[in-house]
Structure 1
Amino acid sequence: MKLAIMQPYFFPYIGYFQLISAVDKFIVYDNIKYTKKGWINRNRMLRDGRDATFSLPLKAAPDSLDVYERSLSPDFDRNKLLNQIQGAYRRAPFYSSAFPVIEQAIGFPDNNLFFYIFSSIREICGYLGIRTDFAVSSEIAINHDLKAQEKVLALCEKAGAEVYVNAIGGMELYSQDAFAARGIELKFIKSKSVEYSQFGADFVPWLSIVDVIMFNSVEEIQRNMLGAYELIQS
């Protein structure tokens, strides 16, 4: 059984969904520290031929809180965010099929940051036909005081993973020997560059999945994008 574990990200790039589709089970961290400078509650879309950041405003809270302890701001205007995306993509070729999915995700009524983002990830997976099983980290019975690699190994063992697949950026964080000692094969996903037409202008890479589904059919994404990666060892 192949397993991946990742932080939740709001409408992440295609590589995140490649990772989900590459494994049998995908564990999403809820009991991990929220980081301001990360991409948990923000991403990039195409606006007037350039990348533009969009984000989820959060209720003020201490920096020490985990993701599941954070909430969306009471002032978060879902319609305003929808209007931004609509304005950017209403002329995109697959707007009519993609926008209702975005609308459903953004309209999710829960203000808990984790559940809001987790719901949006599952909405996109449903649209793309990704059938991977999901789990939430805090619901798995391990010692949650463990950190970094040791926590990942504990989650892998509890889930019965034979192969653990991580994003390519984690190659310096994990030891092949440590995983092999537990009978687990360690692999990393390396996304291949995929280009597509964006209103006929110069291609802006690695934008949110919102951009991908606005410019490409589900069939095209399934055929040429979700599998555009290699699984490598460090």
Structure 2
Amino acid sequence: MILAAMQPYFFPYLGYFQLAAGADHFVFLDDVAFIRRGFIHRNTILLGGQPFRFTLPVAKASQNRAISEHRFAGDAFARFLQQLRHAYRRAPHFDEAYALVESVCRPGEGVARLCADSVQAVFAHLGRGLRASFASERPSRVGGQARILELCGELHADVYHNPPGGRALYDAAAFGAHGVRLRFVHGRFPAYPQTAREDFMPGLSMIDLLMHNPPHEVARMLDLAHVEDAA
């Protein structure tokens, strides 16, 4: 069984979805510290053809508390949805993509649950299933590599997928000693036409892909990642 895990992000980029799509079970790491300048509540879209970093207000944000202990502010989404309408109103798939994003934007909701819902909603929109759970459902006293190995044991995983940035964090031999094969997932990001741009800009929020591509095309992109065994 292939396991993958990441912090819950709000409509993350394609690479996140490629990682999740390649797993049999995906764990939202909601019991780790909230990162104020990370991508949990922030991402990039196109506004006027230029990259625009949006940030959703989180009530009493603190890096001393877990993601699961945070909630979005009561007015977190009004300005963002207005920006989204202005940015993509002429995009070919605006109506369905905007409706999807709007359905997830529930003021006052817990950050971890809502961000996870944004990921799950995309998979449902694409006609794909995602078997997932929250790390906070399995309380632990360890972190880092030990925590991942603990999750692998509890969920009976014999393969663990991680983004390539994890090479410095995880030891293949330690995984092997626990009967787990460590593999790294390299995202691939095909170009597509973007409103008001001549050159393609990769790495944007999944929102940009949904605005510019039909669901079947985005679903195809989920399976383009290259998977490599750890050395």
TM-score (norm 1): 0.93
| Aligned length, in residue pairs | 229
1:96 Cα deviation after fit: 2.0
Measured against aligned partners, the alpha-carbon deviations of 1:178-213 in whole angstroms (never above 9, x if no partner) come to 111111111010012311111252111110000001
How well do the aligned residues superpose, as a CA RMSD in angstroms?
A: 1.4
Q: 1:180 pairs with 176, 179, 185, which one?
A: 176
1:110 Cα deviation after fit: 4.5
90-99 or 41-50, larger mean C-alpha shift: 90-99
- Residue type of the partner of 1:227? D
Partner of 2:66: 66
Question: 1:227 and 2:223 equivalent?
Answer: yes
Which residues in structure 2 correspond to 1:44-59 (within 5 Å)? 44-59=44-59
Q: Distance in 2 between matches of 1:171 and 1:62?
A: 28
Could you say what secondary structure the match of 1:26 adopts? strand
Could you say what secondary structure the match of 2:128 adopts? coil
Partner of 1:14: 14
Gaps of 5+ in 2: none
Q: Distance in 1 between matches of 2:129 and 2:62?
A: 36
- Residue type of the partner of 1:27? V
- Does the 8 A contact of 1:59 with 1:70 survive in 2? yes
Gaps of 5+ in 1: none
- Residue type of the partner of 1:167? P
Q: Distance in 1 between matches of 2:104 and 2:18?
A: 19
- Does the 8 A contact of 2:11 with 2:119 survive in 1? yes
Partner of 1:4: 4
Q: Distance in 1 between matches of 2:162 and 2:62?
A: 29
TM-score (norm 2): 0.94
1:14 Cα deviation after fit: 0.6
Partner of 1:119: 117
